[in-house]
Amino acid sequence: MHMNKQSTDRLHILYLPKWYPHKYDPMPGLFIERHGKSTLPFNDVSVLYVHADDKQKKPVYEFVFSKDEPLNTIRIYYKRAATGFRPLDTLINSCRFVRSHLKGIREIRKRYGKIDIIHVHVLTRHGVIALWEKIRHGIPFVVTEHWTRYLPSTNTFNGAFRKWTTRIVARRASAIMPVTANLRDAMIDCGLKNKNYIVIPNVVDINMFSPDPDKRAGEKARIIHVSCFDDQQKNISGITRVIKRLSEKRQDFSVDMVGEGIHYDELLAYGVEMGVKDTYATYFGLRENEALAELMKAADFMIMFSRYENLPVVILESYACGVPVISTDVGGISEHMNEDLGILLDSEDEDAFYNILDNMLDNYRNYSVEKIREYAVSHFSNEVIGKQLSEVYRAVAKS
């Protein structure tokens, strides 16, 4: 009986994400896709992702329908205007952005039926589309925010029109779900008022990211760093200097540097210059899914030395592998850190980082793999997050 009840009880949720995997890059917004997957046991989820395309010749709008994806996904690529007159290009592109969404929403209704709730991932423009649908069709909308732009450390939420628009959208949302309390507080400080703020973190694939039961202690401790190689944010040059300094005291460690990004080549060159590349640091480039999980499982602990963050998914994935973390105390990281999970330090403090690393190399075996893993399962698993999202959807649908 319960199963029948559940199947008739299902809501149709439409995701409008700012970031999502697309034909030019499989990486952006994977955490948004994971949110959608987590709620599939309880709801039907469709995704409409719109992408401005420089390479597109004809037609102006290209529709791509998902075939083997768990979420019903429509990607619309629209031709980016290039008249050479910037104000005109901006106007044309804005119109194409809106038209793509209106066409896509019509298509989703036609293919997958009535939409019960729109779930916006990342403000502002997608929130404006959702607000329009609310005014026009009475569809309530909720917002999940991942962006660090509201944090005082980045301070990139600016422009009078943007602020005004974002505040209107935020006020009309049925719920706002930042992934950390730190981000919630920053949004409220920016004047984004809403009666229903609910913190719901990102999802971790706890089946893919799990402890290695056959892991053996090696002669050298394996440290891992995973990031987008943006030095301004991740301070990888600082990590490199500390590795160099530590290597002058002891040689019983190696660091797996995983990822790629805008400063990858410079940071690789800096690793060579500091004499740590291929001696103490191995640069793997981008690793995804199972390949990333394998490296994480093999690690003895993870290091992050960021200047600003929200709550990096890689830290949560590290926990799922039972691997402790050393990180700077920035963004919402402290909300999911205690003495069983790892150590926090001040951003930019290379002396403290050096001493903590030195100490960790002698003590990482004292951490309980089971305790760290259990924290990840009880806070970030599909089941836990899927249930939390579903409760919000149910409450919004009833109100």
CATH of the domain at 275: 3.40.50.2000
pLDDT, residue 1, reads 31
Q: Do 250 and 287 lie in a common domain?
A: yes
Distance CA 231, CA 333 (A): 19
Distance CA 236, CA 238 (A): 5
- DSSP β-ladder status, 117-121 and 141-145: parallel
Q: Do 371 and 387 lie in a common domain?
A: no
Of 8, 19, 13, 38, the residue nearest 112 (C-alpha): 13
In the numeric block, which tokens belong to residue 139? Answer: 């569809």
* Inside any domain, residue 210: no
Residue 44 is inside which H or E element, if any?
strand 44-53
Mean pLDDT of residues grouped by 10 in the chain (399 residues)? 51 97 88 95 97 88 92 96 91 96 97 97 97 97 93 86 97 97 95 97 96 89 96 97 98 96 96 96 94 97 95 96 98 96 98 98 96 98 97 96
Domain count, the chain: 2
* Inside any domain, residue 180: yes
* Inside any domain, residue 28: yes
> Which domain, by its residues, includes 107?
2-203+381-398
pLDDT, residue 113, reads 96
pLDDT, residue 8, reads 61
Q: Do 161 and 241 lie in a common domain?
A: no
Q: What is the pTM of this model?
A: 0.90
* Inside any domain, residue 134: yes
* Inside any domain, residue 389: yes
Distance CA 16, CA 47 (A): 6
Per-residue CA distances from 383 to 8, 37, 179, 380 (Å): 20, 10, 16, 8
Q: Do 262 and 319 lie in a common domain?
A: yes
- 324 within 8 A of 302, measured Cβ to Cβ: yes
- 159 within 8 A of 54, measured Cβ to Cβ: no
Sheet containing strand 61-65, strands side by side: 61-65, 72-79, 44-53, 12-17, 117-121, 141-145, 175-178
Q: Do 244 and 291 lie in a common domain?
A: yes
- 254 within 8 A of 280, measured Cβ to Cβ: yes
Q: Do 152 and 267 lie in a common domain?
A: no
Q: Do 15 and 128 lie in a common domain?
A: yes
Q: Do 65 and 168 lie in a common domain?
A: yes
Q: Which residue is listed with tokens 């990333």?
A: 292
In the numeric block, which tokens belong to residue 97? Answer: 């952005």
Q: Do 259 and 301 lie in a common domain?
A: yes
Q: Do 183 and 299 lie in a common domain?
A: no
* Inside any domain, residue 208: no
What's the chain's length in residues?
399
Distance CA 31, CA 201 (A): 10
Q: Do 364 and 385 lie in a common domain?
A: no
* Inside any domain, residue 211: no
Three-state DSSP at 394 gives: helix
Q: Do 179 and 148 lie in a common domain?
A: yes
pLDDT, residue 167, reads 97
What proportions of the chain, in percent to the nearest 5, are helix, strand and coil?
Answer: 45, 20, 35
Of 95, 92, 55, 94, the residue nearest 77 (C-alpha): 55
* Inside any domain, residue 213: no
Distance CA 135, CA 371 (A): 48
